[in-house]
Structure 1
Amino acid sequence: MSALAAGQRTLSGHLLAWALGALAALWLGFVVVGFRTGQHEADELTDGHLASVAALLLSEATNDFADPRRVIPTSDGDNLRAHDYQQSLSVVVWDAGGHLISRTGDAPLPPFAIAEGFATLELGTPAVPWRSFARWRAPAHDRRVMVLLSVAERDDLAWDIGTQVAEPGLWGLPVVALVLGLAIRRGLRPLDALSAEVLALDVQRAAPLQPRLRHQEFEAVVRAIDTLVARYHAALAREQQLASELAHELRTPLASLSLHARLLRGKTADEAERQQSLQRIEQDALRAGQLLGQLLTLARASRTELAEAAQPFDLAALARRVVAEYAQAALDARHELVVEAPPSWGLSGHPVLMELALRNLIDNALAHTPPGTSIAVQLDAGERWLQVCDDGALAAQKPAPAPAAQGAAARHALGLGLGHRVIDKVAAVHGGRFEQRPAPAGFSTCYRISLP
């Protein structure tokens, strides 16, 4: 048991895995979007920085700049990169004729004929990319300024900002996963409590689960478990009652068998007594055999209810087939057996059980009515019922039958009253009911199975 339990998946683990999977996918999307947004904003920041420096230089009223023959590197002297976000900008200034006025920074000298605005230039040997912003001083167009920044330095800044934006998300995922796991485990406590109650349920007692305030989602499960327990105990009670009745019914024929067997063994019995004892033994043996047959039929009905799934079948065709099989028995007993059914009647259920019920109804009608009785098997698909009617009480007022017919009727009249119990069981399996109904015109007795 422990090895099996160790290999089983838990609902909490299943929920946690799906929740974490969805959260990780969503979180990863947020991290990627945050990283790319950080890089984009870093690019916008550097471009704005280039434009701001150019505007600042263009606002200078004088054209006195440092000697253009002396390039002032940004790394000369003190360390100008004192801040993580401080960038090494290069500045080039020309006059209106394109003559170089000033040059500051590490960038190679760019060409003068570059359109205004932002551009990415390949400068130097070997050529490397530089981000630039060029602009004339308006409206005189007497000074042109270009500010440049290494694309590699620009990308480093973008990567740094993007990482700073995305890093909290990477650190936050394990924390959220831990909190989510604890929340799922706490949220599943009502289910664990219900499982413990079901595990502790005593199936030998007809006690439902303890009534208490539960979550709405569990109400259907609790009702199903209570219904199952009630049905189990009802079936157990019926089987116990049936076992008692069968034991009582079997006791009489078995005792009679034993008594008449002793009489046959005795030497004082004359031939007439011996024949009477033999006839009684035959009847008691048939009686015991019918009891066992009814017991097996009920057991089969119970097994079919629990083990076999409902299937579609045509009840009208089934009734016609069963009646046809009883034609010879009805003829031998001088009964008239007919079926009144629609062309077809589709049902979903257990055709084997319905056939057992119909056979019991026909058997009872043949066994408990005198010769000359008319027996009708009637079906109504609209009202959804099946019934077997006979005019046995009317036929009893007719002249007595011939001895051969009396013998046939006697052979049938071994019914034990258990057939109705079988029919009631089959009707209950199909959600219907079995009852005696007022007989229609021309009949004296009628038993009906009403289906939902």
Structure 2
Amino acid sequence: MTSVRRYLISVLIALLVLTSFLAALQSYRLSAARASALFDQDLQLVAASILQHYQTSNTEPEQGLAVQLIKNNQLVFKNGLAPATALVAPVGFSEQNFLGKRWRVYIGQSGTEWQIMVAQPLQQRLQLADEVITASLYPVVFSLPLQAILIWLVVSRALKPLQLLSAELTSRKASELTPVTLNQVPQELQPVIQATNRLFERLSAAFTREKRFASDVAHELRTPLSVLQITLHNAITHARQQGIPQDDAAMQALQDGVERMRQLIEQIMLLNRTHPDNFQANTKPLDWAALCRAVVAEHYSQIEARQQQISIEGLEHLAVKADEFALRLLVANLLGNAIKYTPLGGQIKLTLSTTATNAVLDVADSGPGIAPEEYPHVFNRFYRVGGDRHQSATPGSGLGLAIVKELVQLHGGSISLGRSEFSSGLKVSVELPLCV
């Protein structure tokens, strides 16, 4: 879309140049006609003056004019520019050729005896007319740049409210949905601001409903889910005590389903806690390496139960500016996925490093990995590689990497996937800005 400012300035300048050109052209035509009439009038005056004073005055004819005096059809006087014979031409104005030039000729008559011929070269007349007209056009031409600058200033001033509105909207945070207020809003811009404010109101209400709904649902489901877990545990225990035969596969599937629901509810609660409103207020300098060691320690019982080998390599201290809860959740999700998908006796490695501007955490495992064509999809909420085929072996909700990506974006970082350095597996690389 073309800039409104550039469009208005270009159109106005083009119209200005066009109208100025047409006005100058018309002025040229009128001035040329007027100059020609004035020159003809001069010829008449010169002729009358010469007729009146020829015999009584020594006045020389005007320089640049050809003059002949004729009495009774006989040439009695001529100056150096006039032909040697009397010029035959009609009385009044006409254009004649003599002495290799084109002349504007005036034949004046006094009584029946005297005639006077006064002629002026057409080239001289046109040259003088052009000089006069050009002098009158110079101000118009030279004023065009000044007028263009004035148009630019006027249009820029008229569009300043649009610039202020754009700056106001650009400077806002994603969570700031308060009404837009500007001083001295022009009438044409008021409907835009009103429509924008109504949109903000609807978005704010929708976000509030969504946030409240997710929080309320997750909170309300925790109690019945806890009851279901306790009831299921008691039922299994009672059946074992009574010696009732059990279908271990069915009971395991039931337990996995309940566990998956518990994880889903916890993830929804965590998503609510990582809302941008909460995140912005809690950022501070943190040691990412120390936090990674703490998260590994929290999960070590799971790692040990699965007989997995884990190592932390690279920098011992790595400063980033982040929300502690959000950063801990980010590392916990990455480590939890690695533990979950790495087989018994597998390997997990965390590597901490830096680039010129970013801190980098690589989490690699020796699990089955993910096909490269699946990389863009695994960050979508509730997406699981292979659909629900993993449900019995590796329960999950499909929210882990979605939460990680959202947390990375909140910190202004980036996340990427690739093959791990082991014979198989996945490597997740997270980059966050270094704390300066």
TM normalised by structure 1 equals 0.48
TM normalised by structure 2 equals 0.50
